[in-house]
Amino acid sequence: MNRFTTARQEIVDMCRHLSDHGYFAGTGGNIGVRLDDRLMAVTPSATDYYTMTAADVPILEIATLSVVAGEKTPTVEKALHSTMLQAHPSRYASIHTHQPIASAVALLHEMLPWAPGCDLTALGPHVALVPYRPSGTSMLAKAFARTILPDVYAYLMASHGVICAANDLKSAAGMLRQIEASAALYLRKLIQNRSTLDKQVRTFLLNVLDKTESQGA
């Protein structure tokens, strides 16, 4: 599987980039990349992103999830990525995160509108909502498969996090940033419009939001 070394290394590099910028925390968050018509590479399960190497990145059949290369166990969320790639044949990269602001919005169990100015052709009409199921389970994979639509590329998973798909890893990372910015705008409006909120609490919450947003640039 040496011919896929570049793609595997790109996954390693992206994991470090997302960890450095607060999108991946600890070993939370994972990636799936389409390699060809049949195969995808995914992040290994419970592996430190800073010690991970390209050889650690498992290669799986998209349709069956059986491992064809790599020593490590694939991420528990591999079925989410195979579902995403199968539903969007033109998209090559799928990323799942627990990024802080969008994960906070995911607690509300609502769909998220994109912030004004976003390119909806690339992003899809909105960030759709996948109903809550425990993470890493086949129940979550099934709920995602039932929710997914061919023209919707970004999803909040209720009380959990985010998953999105783009043409390549770099574009997917850009999409994560747009999801986070849209989530910040959405929360900011909710906090500002909540008339029953104590003025000091409101100021505190808006400050927390500003700080969190500036850290995840």
- Which sequence positions are flagged as catalytic? 77
- For residues 8 and 78, which CB has a smaller minimum distance to Zn ion in the complex? 78
- For residues 135 and 171, which CB has a smaller minimum distance to Zn ion in the complex? 135
- For residues 96 and 205, which CB has a smaller minimum distance to Zn ion in the complex? 96
Nearest-approach distance from CB 187 to Zn ion, in angstroms: 20
Sheet holding 59-61, edge to edge: 67-69, 59-61, 39-42, 30-34, 93-97, 161-166, 154-157, 128-130
Nearest 10 degrees: CA dihedral of 57, 131, 205, 198?
-170
Nearest-approach distance from CB 77 to Zn ion, in angstroms: 6
Nearest-approach distance from CB 36 to Zn ion, in angstroms: 26
- For residues 45 and 171, which CB has a smaller minimum distance to Zn ion in the complex? 45
Which residues contribute to the site for Zn ion (CB under 5 A)? 135, 161
Nearest-approach distance from CB 112 to Zn ion, in angstroms: 17
- For residues 28 and 125, which CB has a smaller minimum distance to Zn ion in the complex? 28
* CA–CA dist 148, 158 (Å, integer): 14
Query: Structure tokens of 21?
Result: 């910028």
Nearest-approach distance from CB 52 to Zn ion, in angstroms: 17
